[in-house]
């Protein structure tokens, strides 16, 4: 801001130099020359200063450009990184999905196996119960056999006695 | 009851036929109610048995009677004549008409031990080291599905074989004749069937068994839990004692005057300690540790060793239920002894029993001594030997201690 004010001031100073030249008839020639030299010198200084200011401004612009460029690169890198991360996440989700499907299959398989084992157990339990019941039933059959023979022997003894007494 | 024995290649087959008044429901001599399953069984004698069918008929008669007695009401008809003396015992001691009658009585000289492998029979074996063993091994019955595979009669037979003693193993399925309360001897004496059938072959004049003071004098086991000088199974003058005497095989109870605490101590101090096995379920490598017998015997062992109870059984297990209520308990004198001598009994499954019994070391001291009348009861040929052994290793009860025995169950 200050630099641009300086640039605007330059023409007014030149205007004053010209006015001073018109007033030169009121000063001595050497003085006048000296005045001109001084004025020239001042103008040169102003020009150098302006050039310097321009150069600095250009440098600032360059720096800013570089900064913008760096930021752009940084943004680009960040975007790429995020893209990569998103891609990886996507891959992980895919992998998890596959695992989930496999697990579901495994659970189904186990469920079927449990059913099979339970069925086998049921069969074994039923078999054992049947064996126990058969054995108990056989106990009764055996005991009845003893009783039947007891009755048959009793009857034949009676018949024999009846026949003898006839 | 009609008895029929047949002999075939070392196997005796028994069949018995019920008379009209007989019944499949019966009562054991110890008063336990029984029920018959079937009426045939076999007894397998080892190879090389000589007598076979020539065995004295009195022996066959008594052997048959050990399985047929509970079902017989009035009369037993054997398939060969029995001696008049035996018939007389049937008549006077049993109230049973037995016949036909004929022939001479039998006699023999040697003593054999009916060896089960438990602490009691090991103690008996230690008292009479020269006596041969006869071991009864249960086998399955061809007509009865085996629902009792946990019963390891094979293990017990193996252990008997490892004793290094003169051993005869007799196999039989007669325990399966019993439907209720389950497989077992119809009469306790059925375990002696092998000794009876081999008596002529081995010239036996007596059979020693491991029945201890509880079984003989205190009405233990399935019996009545009171002092029983007149014990029908084991007293010399009881109906079974006289029957065995009549066939020249008096019953000898070397450990009849001592408790299971003493028989266990003697067994564990004997040469046969590695073969002692009271558990009927465990494999060759060791007892099961959690059956009723194992827990009961562990109490006794802990008591004689004066150490805390070492068992996996807990108060919650079904095996412990029998000791959670008030007495009487089976083998109660041993429960009392155990509760009085096992440190920390109040933290075991016997806590309740200990509380009920209130036994002390002093009140159970008699359990460590021998009841003298038991020695008097031993037949003369073996009495001295047992007497000397008892004097050396056990000692006799005082008069006060004898009174403990004689008032047992009267409190
Ligand atoms: Zn056991």
Same domain (yes/no): B122, B209: yes
Position A164 scores a pLDDT of: 63
Identify the three-state secondary structure at position A124: helix
CA atoms within a 13 Å half-sphere pointing along the CA-CB vector of B48? 5
Chain A nearest-CA residue for B39: A146
Mutation target for B interface from A135, A139, A156: give the one with most B CBs within 10 A.
Answer: A139
Residue A143 is nearest to which of B19, B22, B24, comparing CB atoms? B24
In this structure, are residues B131 and B151 in contact, taking their beta carbons and an 8 Å threshold? no
Any CB–CB contact under 8 A between B145 and chain A? Answer: yes
Categorise residue A126: left if φ over 0, alpha if ψ from -120 to 50, beta otherwise: alpha
Does B20 contact A150 at a Cβ distance shorter than 8 Å? Answer: yes
Position A11 scores a pLDDT of: 65
Number of folded domains in chain A?
A: 1
Domain enclosing residue A151, as ranges: 2-165
Cα–Cα distance measured from residue B106 to residue B98, given in angstroms and rounded to the nearest whole number: 17
Cα–Cα distance measured from residue A158 to residue A1, given in angstroms and rounded to the nearest whole number: 150
Q: Residue A165 pLDDT > 70, yes or no?
A: no
Does A146 contact B24 at a Cβ distance shorter than 8 Å? Answer: yes
Average pLDDT score over chain A: 86
Position A1 scores a pLDDT of: 46
Tens digits of pLDDT across chain B (411 residues):
999 999 998 999 999 999 999 999 999 999 999 999 999 999 999 987 877 889 999 999 999 999 999 999 999 999 999 999 999 999 999 999 998 999 999 999 999 999 999 999 999 999 999 999 999 999 999 999 888 888 999 999 999 999 999 999 999 999 999 999 999 999 999 999 999 999 999 999 999 999 999 999 998 766 678 899 999 999 999 999 999 999 999 999 999 999 999 999 999 999 999 999 999 998 999 999 999 999 999 999 999 999 999 999 999 999 999 999 999 898 999 999 999 999 999 999 999 999 999 999 999 999 999 999 999 999 999 999 999 999 999 999 999 999 999 999 875
Position A29 scores a pLDDT of: 77
Position B371 scores a pLDDT of: 98
Backbone angles phi, psi at B181, to 5 degrees: -80, 5
Cα–Cα distance measured from residue B75 to residue B129, given in angstroms and rounded to the nearest whole number: 41
B35 lies in a domain? yes
Any CB–CB contact under 8 A between B15 and chain A? Answer: no
Any CB–CB contact under 8 A between B200 and chain A? Answer: no
Same domain (yes/no): B191, B333: no
Cis ω before B188 (30° cut-off from 0): no
B132 lies in a domain? yes
Cα–Cα distance measured from residue B110 to residue B95, given in angstroms and rounded to the nearest whole number: 31
Any CB–CB contact under 8 A between A143 and chain B? Answer: yes
Q: Which of B252, B269, B300 is the last residue of a domain?
A: B252
Any CB–CB contact under 8 A between B19 and chain A? Answer: yes
Write the DSSP assignment of B112-170 as a string of letters. EEE--SSHHHHHHHHHSTTSPEEEEEE---TTS----TT--HHHHHHHHHTT-S-EEEE
Share of chain A above pLDDT 90, in %: 60
Q: Which residues of A touch B70 (CB under 8 A)?
A: none
Same domain (yes/no): B143, B292: no
Identify the three-state secondary structure at position B85: helix
Does B179 contact A143 at a Cβ distance shorter than 8 Å? Answer: yes
Cα–Cα distance measured from residue B375 to residue B201, given in angstroms and rounded to the nearest whole number: 28
Same domain (yes/no): B142, B72: yes
Q: Which residues of B touch A149 (CB under 8 A)?
A: 17-18, 39
Chain A nearest-CA residue for B22: A150
Q: Calculate how far, in angstroms, residue B118's C-alpha sits from the geometric centre of ligand 1.
A: 12
Any CB–CB contact under 8 A between B147 and chain A? Answer: yes
B262 lies in a domain? no
In this prediction the ipTM stands at 0.79
Cα–Cα distance measured from residue B275 to residue B262, given in angstroms and rounded to the nearest whole number: 17
Same domain (yes/no): B195, B343: no
Taking a contact as any Cβ pair under 8 Å apart, which residues of chain B between 160 and 179 contact chain A? 179
Position A156 scores a pLDDT of: 85
Domain enclosing residue B324, as ranges: 286-357
Number of folded domains in chain B?
A: 2
B372 lies in a domain? no
Any CB–CB contact under 8 A between A145 and chain B? Answer: yes
Backbone angles phi, psi at B100, to 5 degrees: -70, 165
Predicted TM-score of the model (pTM): 0.79
Any CB–CB contact under 8 A between B36 and chain A? Answer: yes
Any CB–CB contact under 8 A between A75 and chain B? Answer: no
B14 lies in a domain? yes
Mutation target for A interface from B4, B37, B75, B177: give the one with most A CBs within 10 A.
Answer: B37
Q: Residue A9 pLDDT > 70, yes or no?
A: no
B409 lies in a domain? no
Query: CB-based burial of residue B192 (10 Å sphere; 0-12 exposed, 13-18 middle, 19+ buried)?
Result: buried
Q: Which residues of B touch A138 (CB under 8 A)?
A: 143-145
Q: Calculate how far, in angstroms, residue B197's C-alpha sits from the geometric centre of ligand 1.
A: 31
Position A25 scores a pLDDT of: 57
Same domain (yes/no): B209, B61: yes
Does A142 contact B38 at a Cβ distance shorter than 8 Å? Answer: yes
Q: Which of B357, B380, B402 is the last residue of a domain?
A: B357
Both tokens of residue A128? 């054992």
Chain B nearest-CA residue for A150: B18
Alpha helices, DSSP H, located in B139-259: 153-161, 193-198, 213-217, 239-246
Q: Which residues of A touch B179 (CB under 8 A)?
A: 139, 143
Position A8 scores a pLDDT of: 56
Write the DSSP assignment of B341-395 as a string of letters. HSTTGGGSTTHHHHHHH---TTTTGGGGSB-THHHHTS-HHHHHHHHHHHHHHT-
Position B73 scores a pLDDT of: 96
């Amino acid at each position: 801001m200050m630099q641009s004010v300086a640039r605007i001031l330059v023409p007014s100073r030149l205007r004053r130099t010209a006015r001073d030249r018109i007033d030169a008839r009121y000063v001595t020639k050497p003085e006048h020359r000296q005045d001109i030299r001084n004025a020239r010198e001042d103008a040169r200084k102003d020009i150098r200063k302006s050039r310097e200011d321009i150069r600095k401004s250009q440098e600032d612009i360059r720096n800013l450009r570089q900064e913008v460029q760096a930021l752009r690169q940084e943004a680009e890198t960040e975007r790429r990184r995020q893209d990569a991360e998103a891609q990886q996440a996507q891959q992980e989700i895919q992998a998890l999905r596959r695992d989930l499907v496999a697990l579901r299959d495994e659970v189904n398989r186990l469920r079927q196996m449990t059913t099979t084992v339970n069925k086998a157990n049921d069969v074994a339990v039923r078999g054992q119960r049947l064996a126990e019941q058969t054995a108990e039933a056989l106990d009764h059959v055996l005991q009845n056999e003893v009783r039947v023979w007891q009755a048959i022997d009793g009857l034949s003894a009676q018949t024999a006695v009846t026949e003898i007494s006839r | 009851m009609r008895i029929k024995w047949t002999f075939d290649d070392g196997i005796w087959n028994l069949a018995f036929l019920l008379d009209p008044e007989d019944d499949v429901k019966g009562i054991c001599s110890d008063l336990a109610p029984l029920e018959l399953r079937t009426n045939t069984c076999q007894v397998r004698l080892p190879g090389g048995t000589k007598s076979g069918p020539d065995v004295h008929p009195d022996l066959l008669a008594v052997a048959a009677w050990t399985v047929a007695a509970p079902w017989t009401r009035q009369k037993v008809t054997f398939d060969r004549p029995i001696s008049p003396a035996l018939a007389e015992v049937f008549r006077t001691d049993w109230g049973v008409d037995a016949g036909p009658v004929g022939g001479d009585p039998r006699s023999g000289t040697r003593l054999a031990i009916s060896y089960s492998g438990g602490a009691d029979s090991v103690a008996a074996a230690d008292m009479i080291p020269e006596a041969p063993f006869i071991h009864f091994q249960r086998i399955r019955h061809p007509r009865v599905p085996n629902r009792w595979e946990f019963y390891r009669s094979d293990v017990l037979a193996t252990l008997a074989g490892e004793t290094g003693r003169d051993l005869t193993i007799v196999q039989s399925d007669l325990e399966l004749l019993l439907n209720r309360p389950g497989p077992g001897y119809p009469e306790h004496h059925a375990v002696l069937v092998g000794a009876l059938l081999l008596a002529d072959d081995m010239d036996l004049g007596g059979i020693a068994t491991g029945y201890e003071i509880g079984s003989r004098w205190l009405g233990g086991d399935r019996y009545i839990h009171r002092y029983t000088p007149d014990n029908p199974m084991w007293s010399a003058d009881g109906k079974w004692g006289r029957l065995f005497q009549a066939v020249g095989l008096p019953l000898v109870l070397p450990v009849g005057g001592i408790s299971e605490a003493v028989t266990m101590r003697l067994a564990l101090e004997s040469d046969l300690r590695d073969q002692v096995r009271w558990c009927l379920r465990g494999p060759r490598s060791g007892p099961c540790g959690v059956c009723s017998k194992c827990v009961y015997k562990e109490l006794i062992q802990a008591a004689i060793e004066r150490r805390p109870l070492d068992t996996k059984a807990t108060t919650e297990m079904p095996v412990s239920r029998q000791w959670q209520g008030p007495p009487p308990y089976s083998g109660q004198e041993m429960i009392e002894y155990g509760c009085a001598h096992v440190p920390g009994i109040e933290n075991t499954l016997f806590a309740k029993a200990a509380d009920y019994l209130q036994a002390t070391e002093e009140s159970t001291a008699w359990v460590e001594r021998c009841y003298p009348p038991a020695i008097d009861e031993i037949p003369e040929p073996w009495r001295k030997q047992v007497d000397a052994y008892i004097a050396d290793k056990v000692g006799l009860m005082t008069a006060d201690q004898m009174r403990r025995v004689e008032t047992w169950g009267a409190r």
